[in-house]
Amino acid sequence: MGELNHDKEPKPIQDNITGLSVRQLVLTKNLYIELNISTLIQRTVSNYDFK
């Protein structure tokens, strides 16, 4: 019985850690995408200013 409990406990904890890491990666990717979009908008605006 004790061995079964030890097997069951770490699995959900590992799943939670991986889930959090995946969420953090998604959040960082979204931030990078937003930054890239803002830089692209600034570049297009500056290009229009030069024209």
Domain map (residue ranges) of the chain: 13-47
Tokens of 7: 């097997």
pLDDT in the model for residue 44: 85
**What pLDDT shows up at residue 17?**
61
- Residue 22 pLDDT: 76
Q: How far is it, in rounded angstroms, from Cα 51 to Cα 49?
A: 5
Residues of the chain with pLDDT under 50: none
In the prediction, which pLDDT does 4 show? 55
CA pair distance 51, 43, nearest whole angstrom: 12
Long-range contacts of 21-27 (CB under 8 A, 24+ apart): none
Q: What is the pLDDT of residue 9?
A: 56
Q: What pLDDT does residue 47 have?
A: 75
